[in-house]
Structure 1
Amino acid sequence: MWGQEVVSVVRRKARLRTAVKTAAALLALSLSACTAQPAPAPSSSAPAATATFNFGTGADPMGLDPALELDSESFRVTRQVLEGLVTVDATTGAPAPSLATSWQELQDGLAYSFKLRQNVTFQDGTALDAAAVCTNFNRWFTLPAALRGGGNSTAFKQIFKAFSDDAKNSVFKNCTAMGPSDVTIELNSRLSGFLQAMTLPSFAISSPAALTSMTADTLTASVSGHPVSAYGQHPVGTGPFRFTSWQNGKVTLSANQNYWGTKGEIGVLNFITYDQPQIRLQALEDGTIDGYDPVTPGDFDALVKNGEQILQRDPFSVMYLGINQAVPVMADLKVRQAIATAIDKQSLIKAFFIDGSQATSQFIPPKLSGFNNAVTGYGYDQDKARKLLAESSYRGEPITFYYPTNVTRTYLPTPEKVYAEIARQLTAVGFNIKPVPVPWSDDYLGKVTSPGDHALDLMGWNGGYADPDNFVGPLFGTPNGEFGSHDPQLISKIDRARMLPNGPDRNDAYQSVNTQIVQTVPAVPIAFPISAVALSNKVATYPVSPVLNEVFNQIKLAK
């Protein structure tokens, strides 16, 4: 087990080695452009991809229907198979052409028109057209209640607020095919981050034929206790890779020879799950895999010593401690304040996160508008925490603390160690902590985001696009089972902020949202973590992305 001093030594050594490479991908803050030019057409004479590439991951996907999942391992796979109307520009973070070559904002932000790319087919041979796009939007809008989960469990709910059975409260109005290659999306209210939201992998366009033939809206199977449909086990899109198989901790994809864009060099792509960091590291060292994600702080010394590459992502996620106010004692503000004050964030980051990770008192990263420099949060003060606890209604009741095991997340490299240290700090000020370890593969995500007895939980949020709403909207924009609270004023503030045009008023609105979250403590933000990918020397370039938009046809292999 790594001690704090040992980790620091490893980091100091790692900083001195030139083998460590840092990705300098920047996220643009000005993301309001409404038009784009088509991407250049790829050469059709490129040779067929033949290489096999094996990539280690920290967990299995939850499912492969991106409309119904929110975890990064599911999206890692579906990003290869499916595409959306727009994608993320690797340099600026702005929306860039994908299945749409250009777009235009209409009616002062109440509608958007898209021009679709010509001669694109889904991997089952059916054509991409405006009707196919609308089939997907209409499916998301009319999802059966059984598929929606609780709170903000689908991206559609996070972005558009409501489904067709509550149409008056939905931001989405309709999708209309204006011609074979022209589609218009109408909204009931302005959504300034609409184009940015469309870059999310959740809004990738599936083959309508596959959705029908594999009964995508009927959950007939289970993956590690998580319900999925037949389509959720065999997605069909327009992307550079086709789904081949998923079994025994390995997802296999093959190159889509009919792909409209750059096909890349990889013919067979395997994502292989290793839930323990040391096993991933060993697999890279012995050549079983060609890369893995995520790197833990304890990996650095061995990776550098062996001459492997480490690519660090710019921080664009937040790790936090969730607090469930549906558990009666957690409804007491002083109890929540005592929790926030008892946590020494700096010691956690120094011991368990990659160098450069930053402590935080708010959920919106400092690169985005809405970050509030005036918000300082609750500083670490054990005496103050004890005083707050003594003044509260807490009388020593067991506090159930859920944390994931057998997993490594980009926002939480070593969850068991982070849990142990936070539990120690809370116990030191008078809390009676009851540990509830839950294997990630036992639907940890579902358990802590649904109503239940979890008083505390370890979680994180990976940013998907460069807009402050992406960080506070999904977590606090509607009541949800993780936090067990209903704060109409906070929800109203978030709703207002997301509709304002980009500018000072919107920035002020999100700063106000930040302030209220700090004051009411529905959760305790702890860190903006840096994450990293390890790669063998087989890899010449890798498309590292702060928002994890890493599509493997962009990998260049060493000659």
Structure 2
Amino acid sequence: MVHSRTARRRWTAAIGLTGAAVLALSACAQSERGGDSGSGKTGGTMVFGAAGEPKNFDPIFNDDGESFRPIRQMYDTLITYKRGSADLAPGLAEKWEPSADGKSWTFTLRKNVKFHDGTPFNAAAVCFNFDRWFNMKGAAAQSQMIYYGDVFGGFAKNEGDAAGEPLYKSCEAKDEGTAVLNLNAYKGAFPAAFGLTSFSISSPDALKKYDADAVQQSGDSFTYPAYATEHPTGTGAFKFEKFDKANKTITLVRNDDYWGDKAKLDKLIFKIIPDENARKQELKAGTIDGYDYPSPADYNTLKSDGFNVTPRPAFNILYLGINGANTPALKDLRVRQAIAYAVNREQLVKTKLPAGAEVATQFHPKTVAGYADDVQKYPYDVNKAKELLAQAGATGLTLKFYVPTEVSRPYMPNPTEIAAVITDDLKAAGINVEIVSRPWNGGYKDDVQKAGKHDLHLLGWTGDYNDAGNFVGTFFGRAKAEFGFDDKNLFDALAAADAVVDQTKHADAYKQVNRDIMSKYLPAVPVSHSPPAIVVSSKISGLVPSPLTDERFDTVSKG
């Protein structure tokens, strides 16, 4: 493992001004690109098995791992994360400084950096990206900017379901190497949130040339412009070559003009293989060189066959989501509590999740400040579940349980098997379940997160940085179709916690939010925290597993 549990407790994500000042760093490119730059074979092609298709390749319109994995290789953010940890490190910005009130951030940018189209990276390009996001037009485009809504709140003009006051105020290019970002309020997520993959910096010329903002919606489906599908243009160590949908392969090539240590591989191919067993067989056959989230049941077999299986630290949450909008009974807290009591999470963790997984009592791990030991807990108790259902007049309840296919997530190695266990538990408590299976990026996420067609669903999260707001704020900080509730008291409490500058008080505020979520609201049932693994061939060296699943392949060699 990259980190022991003790080491994880020492992670610093630089939330607030004290941490920000400490991390106002300056460093050379080599020291920040993860090391191992002077060793390892150069050349060759690595083929990595992906569980599903990316939604597209425009960072701002994405929020899932299957899309982010190739995007991270092609783009850079202003701030990044040190290899193998959640600590912050310079990215396109060599250093960053907040104002005394935390409402302005000054970024000192790297020099001599170019986008893949040959145009220069500079402060004007940084401001163009932030202005683009803030001024995005169209309900369809705004609805796809999940991270922007969670972090920045609102747009210059909110459309469709977009709501909230904008956090972003302006961006000033003081000179070519200095960008100043101005906010309307302090936010505890910064500076760590500047490292989010969604906030990668794109070439302004390419964005304009390929009509990047022209997202279209037809029913529940979205169509993305040429920038997002054929011409993604960042500053990263790899460049986009093609997405061959017929052969289900994404091909990236080394960027020989990269500002940091050049990638060792000539090519990096992501081969989309939805079935986990098929990924395993292709690894054994040598047609792929690795894949993510192998089944815990396969760890020992893969190791004995000579493959390198590396578990990451658990920095995630799996939850059983409850949509209170469609079925009236689910608006009743007693029914939601009955669902929590009905699921034997201890048994689920023991039988379907990897060694080291833990039952979750709230919606972020213990290592995140704001974790409350005294939240209301829901131990397995089928009789208590039946009693609550009877009190609520909800006996004989039938619920649509949406389950994703063609995906394996760090918190959810096999959704179908996990859903089967939960379904049996619910039926034992008297809740009838209708399973609705949908492909992850072929209907599931839109049905759940946009249309809210479900009653129950499986979803989760791997933390982007070490702050409670990145978990509970992301889930419950605003009205979402996923949970089907709109409670101003909870939204205000989360916003207030996020705005507390003092870090002790910041954590205390989130502790109270966690207590309230588990006792007053319960919009979902926290299930588990799981240490996901990544597996590669013995021919692969230099891959550094990340607790954030933020692996970069520029340090990888293939022997």
TM-score, length-scaled by structure 1? 0.92
> Which residue of structure 1 lines up, in the alignment, with residue 129 of structure 2?
136
Query: Kindly, what percent of the aligned residue pairs are identical?
Result: 37
Cα pair 2:310 2:545 within 8 Å, conserved: yes
**Alpha-carbon displacement from aligned partner over 1:352-386 (angstroms, at most 9, x marks no partner):** 11110111110121111001111242111001000
Superposed CA offset, 1:15-52 (max 9, x none)? xxxxxx66658471362233433332459999995221
Shift of 1:414: 0.8
CA distance in 2, matches of 1:138, 1:147: 18
Matched, 1:357 2:357: yes
Aligned 1:317-466 pairs, distance under 5 A: 317-327=316-326, 328-466=328-466
Contact 1:192 1:501 in 2 (8 A): yes
Are positions 1:39 and 2:36 aligned together? no
Does 1:158 pair with 2:158? no
Question: What does 1:471-550 align with in structure 2 at a 5 Å threshold?
Answer: 471-519=471-519, 520-550=521-551
Check whether the contact 1:51–1:267 (CA below 8 A) recurs between aligned residues: yes
Instruction: Tell me if structure 1 keeps the 8 A contact 2:403–2:415.
Output: yes
Q: Map of 1:162-201 to 2, 5 A cutoff? A: 162-165=154-157, 169-201=165-197
Q: Counterpart of 1:188 in structure 2: which amino acid?
A: N
Deviation at 1:529, TM superposition (A): 1.3
Secondary structure at 2:460 match in 1: strand
Deviation at 1:103, TM superposition (A): 1.1
Give SS of 2:447's match: helix
1:85-234 residue pairs with structure 2 within 5 A? 85-90=78-83, 92-148=85-141, 150=143, 153-165=145-157, 169-219=165-215, 225-233=221-229, 234=231
Say if 1:435 and 1:91 are closer, same or farther in 2 by CA, change over 3 A.
closer
CA distance in 1, matches of 2:145, 2:432: 31
Equivalent in 237, 241, 245 of residue 242 of structure 2: 245
Give the corresponding residue for 1:6: none
> Kindly tell me: are residues 265 and 405 of structure 1, through their superposed partners in 2, closer, same or farther at Cα, counting changes over 3 Å?
same
Aligned to 1:83: 76
User: Shift of residue 94 of structure 1?
Assistant: 2.5
Equivalent-residue separation in structure 2 for 1:30 and 1:406 (angstroms)? 33
Of residues 202-211 and 372-381 in structure 1, the stretch that sits farther from structure 2 once superposed is 372-381
| Contact 2:315–2:462 (CA under 8 A) maintained in structure 1 | yes
Which residue number corresponds to residue 270 of structure 2? Answer: 271
Give the secondary structure class of the aligned counterpart of 2:11: coil
Classify the secondary structure of the residue corresponding to 1:61.
coil
Question: What amino acid sits opposite 2:281 in the alignment?
Answer: Q
Cα deviation 1:527-547 (Å, max 9, x = unaligned) = 111111001111223111011
Deviations 1:67-124 (A, max 9, x none): 0110111110110001010101235522211100011111420101001100000000
Q: Residue in 2 aligned with 1:7?
A: none
Task: Quote the Cα distance in structure 1 between the aligned partners of 2:549 and 2:356.
Answer: 18
Q: Deviations over 1:457-478 (max 9, x none)?
A: 1111121111111001111000
Displacement of 1:486 in angstroms is: 0.9
Q: How far is the alpha carbon of 1:397 from its aligned partner?
A: 3.8
Counterpart of 2:310 in structure 1 is 311
Gap change, CA 1:534 and 1:47, over 3 Å in 2 = closer
- Which is worse superposed, 413-422 or 445-454? 445-454
Amino acid aligned to 1:36: A
* Distance apart, 1:148 and its partner CA: 4.3
Q: Distance in 1 between matches of 2:242 and 2:85?
A: 34
CA contact (8 A) 2:13 2:466 kept: no
Question: How many Å apart are 1:286 and its aligned residue?
Answer: 1.1
Structure 1 contact 175–186 (Cα < 8 Å) conserved: yes
Secondary structure (helix, strand or coil) at the match of 1:37 reads coil
Q: Give the paired residue count.
A: 536
Output the amino acid matched with 2:292.
Answer: D
Query: Aligned pair in 2 of structure 1 residues 221, 512: CA closer, same or farther (>3 Å)?
Result: closer
Q: Please list the CA deviations of residues 231-289 of structure 1 after superposition, one character each: whole Å capped at 9, or x if unmatched.
A: 11131000000000112321100000000101131110001111111111111111111
Calculate the TM-score normalised by the size of structure 2. Answer: 0.92
RMSD after superposition: 2.2
Q: What secondary structure does 1:419 align onto?
A: helix
Compared CA separation, residues 541 and 140, structure 1 to 2 (3 A): same
- Structure 1 equivalent of residue 34 of structure 2: none
Structure 2: distance between partners of 1:52 and 1:60: 20
Deviates more, 1:387-396 or 1:132-141: 387-396
The CA distance in 1 between the partners of 2:235 and 2:41, in whole Å, is: 17
User: Structure 1, residues 436-459: CA drift from partner, whole Å, max 9, x if none?
Assistant: 111224221111112333110111
Judged with a 3 Å threshold, the aligned counterparts in structure 2 of structure 1 residues 221 and 340 are, in CA distance, closer, same or farther, namely closer
Q: In the alignment, is the contact (CA less than 8 A) between 2:2 and 2:546 conserved in 1?
A: no
CA, structure 1 residues 442+91, in 2 after alignment: closer, same or farther (shift >3 Å)? closer
Structure 1: runs of 5+ lacking an equivalent = 1-20
Deviation at 1:146, TM superposition (A): 2.6
Q: Distance in 2 between matches of 1:91 and 1:533?
A: 13
In the TM superposition, residue 503 of structure 1 has moved relative to its aligned partner by 1.8
Q: How many Å apart are 1:307 and its aligned residue?
A: 1.4
Match of 2:54 among 47, 61, 68: 61
| C-alpha distance in 1 between matches for 2:285 and 2:257 | 34
Q: 1:446 to 1:116 in 2, by over 3 A?
A: same
Note if contact 1:57-1:294 (Cα within 8 Å) is conserved in structure 2: no
Cα displacement (A) at 1:299:
1.8
Residue deviations 1:321-340, cap 9 Å, x none? 11001022210111101000
3-state SS, counterpart of residue 451 of structure 2? coil
Which segment drifts farther, 97-106 or 295-304? Answer: 295-304
Q: Distance in 2 between matches of 1:49 and 1:282?
A: 27
Distance 1:105 1:214, change over 3 A: same
Separation in structure 1 between the aligned mates of residue 234 and residue 156 of structure 2, nearest angstrom: 25
Distance (whole Å) between structure 1 residues aligned to residue 437 and residue 84 of structure 2 = 40
Structure 2 gaps, min length 5: 32-36
What secondary structure, in the 3-state scheme, does the structure 2 residue paired with 1:260 have? coil
1:220–1:195 Cα change, 3 Å: same
**Among candidates 2, 8, 12, match of residue 29 of structure 1:** 12
